[in-house]
Amino acid sequence: MSNKNKYGKVAILMGGNTTEREVSFMSGKAILASLIKSGVDAFAFDPAEEPLENLKKHGCDRALIIIHGKNGEDGKLQGALEYLQIPYTGSGVMASAIGMDKYRTKMIWSSLGIPVAKSQFLEKANYNSDAFKLDLPLPVIVKPADDGSTLGFSKVYKPEELTQAINYAFEKSNKILIEEMIIGDEFTITIVDGKIYPIIKIEAPQGEYDFEHKYYSDETKYLCNYDLGAIQPQIEAFALLGYHGIGASGVARSDFMINHAGQVYFLEINTIPGMTGHSLVPQSLATVGIDFDKLCLMILDGAGLGK
């Protein structure tokens, strides 16, 4: 059976009304080109440019979601596709909503025994800068609790820097997290359909793995198929437990750190990870002989409803 007959007409959902619109297009265009190369009848669809129900008019048989952040990765788009009865890729409504909410992900992971950094949750409606008391020792990380790509992210070393960092995070979201700063090495681990793939160690210049170094810089180093020795089986077990704990499906990527004392801390899970030239999931799978074209078909194979 040809891929055109196997998959039918496939919409690549990219762009969208999200702060990560530009990155989504980078990923989406790469996936679209790959699927067309593989003989799939695929087309680009931007929900910010036309109503989602137009997918039916286009004769869409399944949708591949590559819209990152709010309104793409948080369950809203997944719920709309469920209503339209269009099979889609990645995690379902519940897992997408939980995975996008870093605070509730941490609550679930902590209850499962997965090590996470200590944190303090703030909502904009209840925040009073004059009455606020930090419950964590400095230094801390301040970031939105429900967005990605390090947008609204700050490192705080001095008390006088805290209010500005909080206000900056609130510009991106109404919910933010203040976390203890873990000093150490950063890693990521990919899971596809419940199977673990090789770990990548991330070495960004001066340890600043920010938006620029994630998507545009060639200075960031990715050490693929990184061997963590005796602790690796435990880390892989934590990653799988975290994936299943939020009910994830399809492709996901969990980020974690190991401090200088050798303690492991899981940071977050990405249920729609990037697929750009700098992205980590394609690099991980490439180390075991799965190229980008095969990966795109694997993702498409996972399309479904009622996840």
Is the per-residue pLDDT at 53 higher than 80?
Answer: yes
What is the reported pTM? 0.92
Residue 301 inside a domain? The answer is: no
pLDDT of residue 147: 76
- What is the rounded average pLDDT of the residues 186-209? 88
What is the domain-level CATH number for residue 164?
3.30.1490.20
Residue 61 within a domain: yes
Q: Do 66 and 76 have their domain in common? A: yes
Residue 25 in domain = yes
| Strand ranges inside the chain, DSSP E | 9-13, 41-45, 62-65, 119-123, 140-144, 154-156, 175-180, 184-192, 195-196, 200-203, 221-224, 251-259, 264-270
In this structure, is residue 304 part of a structural domain? no
Of 106, 163, 110, whose CA–CA distance to 134 is shortest?
Answer: 163
Indicate whether 270 and 203 sit together in one domain.
Answer: yes
Active-site pick, 147, 209, 253, 279: 253
CA-based nearest residue to 26, from 8, 12, 37: 12
Q: What value does the mean pLDDT take over residues 164-175?
A: 94
Query: Of the candidates 89, 107, 141, which is a domain's last residue?
Result: 89
Domain range for 191 is 98-116+182-293
The conformation of residue 63, written as its DSSP 8-state character, comes to E
268, 279, 284, 302: the active-site residue: 268
> Percentage helix, strand, coil, to 5, in the chain?
35, 25, 40
Q: Does residue 283 lie in a domain region?
A: yes
CATH number, residue 289:
3.30.470.20
**Residue 266 confidence class, pLDDT cut points 50, 70, 90:** very high
The SS3 assignment for 294 reads: helix
What average pLDDT score do residues 134-149 get? Answer: 89
Q: Is 256 part of a structural domain of the chain?
A: yes
Residue 253 annotated as catalytic: yes
The answer to whether residues 69 and 50 belong to one domain is: yes
Answer with the one of 130, 145, 180 that is the final residue of a domain. Answer: 180
Asked if residue 302 belongs to a domain, the reply is no
What is the tally of structural domains in the chain?
3
The answer on pLDDT for 197 being more than 90 is: yes
The distance of Cα 191 from the centroid of its chain, to the nearest Å, equals 12
- Give yes or no: 7 in active site: no
CA 299 to chain centre: 15
Residues 149, 188 share a domain: no
Q: Which of 215, 226, 243, 265 is catalytic?
A: 215
Q: Which of 270, 279, 284, 302 is catalytic?
A: 270
**Each residue's pLDDT tens digit, 74-127:** 999 999 999 999 999 999 999 999 999 999 999 999 999 999 999 999 999 999
pLDDT at 207 over 70: no
Same-domain pairing of 53 and 13: yes
Catalytic, out of 149, 154, 249, 254? 149
Is residue 182 a contact partner of residue 265, using CB atoms and an 8 Å limit? yes
Do 201 and 102 lie in one domain? The reply is: yes
Band the pLDDT of 49: cuts 50, 70, 90. very high
Query: Based on the domain organization, do 51 and 110 belong to the same domain?
Result: no
Instruction: Kindly indicate the confidence band of residue 273, based on its pLDDT and cuts at 50, 70 and 90.
Output: very high
106 and 74, same structural domain?
A: no
Active site residue 255: yes
Query: What's the mean pLDDT in 154-179?
Result: 95
104 catalytic residue (yes or no): no
In-domain check, residue 167: yes
Q: Is the pLDDT of residue 236 over 90?
A: yes
pLDDT at 219: 73
274 lies in the same domain as 203: yes
Judgement on whether residues 141 and 192 belong to the same structural domain of the protein: no
CATH of the domain at 45: 3.40.50.20
Q: Are 121 and 103 in contact (CB under 8 A)?
A: yes
Stretch 195-213: mean pLDDT: 75
Active site residue 268: yes
In the structure, what pLDDT confidence band is assigned to residue 210 with cuts at 50, 70 and 90?
Answer: very low
**Residue of 15, 75, 242, 274 marked catalytic:** 274
Which position among 7, 16, 20, 265 bears the catalytic label? 20
Band of pLDDT at residue 149, cut at 50, 70 and 90: low
Same domain, 129 and 252: no
